[in-house]
């Protein structure tokens, strides 16, 4: 079966933007770029995070990856707290910076190449090990709990990805709904503007 990216090929959420309140519209349109140069992340970190994001969200479209990087850079530059953190984990900035260094170290020990030099399968293997706290033992992990690193990467990358209007269109999400709201909320009913499976492109 052909692997289609969307059940809703005829749906483009951005066509609805005139119906959104100005504050929301401004926020959503900014996600399309262009984005300023990262303030915290260095070039190598940007490239590594993009590859990690490709694996986590199973997508590699550069426009969406650029937004994800911008989002991560913004949250690491901001002084706003991170809600919660394990006492054994360093603050997000260090967790990610040191974590990426540790990932490179693991790659070097295991495959004699940096993470970006590995093939997809090898990269995937390292991320999967990280999720279970079972990546190759390197001294860097003493400062960076593996599972906490994975959770932070997953939270930042996945929340940014599913906040991109292109992805909203693809999954048929209604998106911003003020001031319009919904008239037809019950089963089998949709408002005329919502995503329809059988709509023509």
* Other Cβ atoms closer than 10 A to 38: 18
Single residue of 46, 64, 161, 166 touching another protein by CB under 8 A: 161
Single residue of 123, 144, 149, 168 touching another protein by CB under 8 A: 168
167 counts as binding another protein under rule CB under 8 A: yes
Buried b / exposed e along 120-156 (16+ C-beta atoms within 10 A): eeebebbbebbbeeebeebebbeebbbebbbbbbbeb
118 counts as binding another protein under rule CB under 8 A: no
Residue 35 has phi, psi (to 5 degrees) of -110, 145
Single residue of 12, 66, 82, 136 touching another protein by CB under 8 A: 82
Binding site for another protein (CB under 8 A): 5-7, 20-21, 23-24, 27-28, 55-59, 71, 78-87, 91, 124, 131, 151, 154-155, 158-163, 167-168, 170-183, 185-190, 194-195, 197
């Amino acid at each position: 079966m052909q692997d289609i990216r969307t059940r809703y090929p005829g749906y483009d959420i951005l066509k609805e933007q005139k119906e959104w309140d100005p504050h929301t519209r401004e926020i959503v349109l900014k996600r399309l770029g262009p984005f300023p140069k990262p303030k915290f992340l260095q070039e190598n970190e940007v490239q590594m995070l993009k590859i990690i994001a490709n694996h986590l969200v199973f997508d590699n479209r550069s426009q969406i990856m650029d937004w994800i990087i911008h989002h991560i850079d913004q949250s690491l530059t901001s002084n706003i707290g991170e809600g919660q953190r394990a006492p054994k984990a360093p603050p997000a900035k260090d967790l990610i910076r040191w974590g990426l260094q540790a990932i490179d170290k693991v790659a070097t020990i295991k495959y004699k190449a940096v993470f970006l030099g590995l093939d997809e399968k090898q990269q995937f293997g390292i991320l999967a090990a990280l999720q279970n706290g079972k990546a190759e033992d390197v001294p860097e992990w003493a400062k960076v709990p593996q599972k906490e690193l994975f959770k932070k990467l997953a939270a930042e990358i996945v929340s940014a990805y599913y906040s991109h209007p292109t992805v909203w269109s693809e999954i048929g999400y209604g998106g911003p709904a003020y001031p319009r709201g919904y008239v037809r909320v019950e089963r089998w009913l949709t408002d005329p503007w919502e995503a329809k499976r059988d709509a023509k492109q």
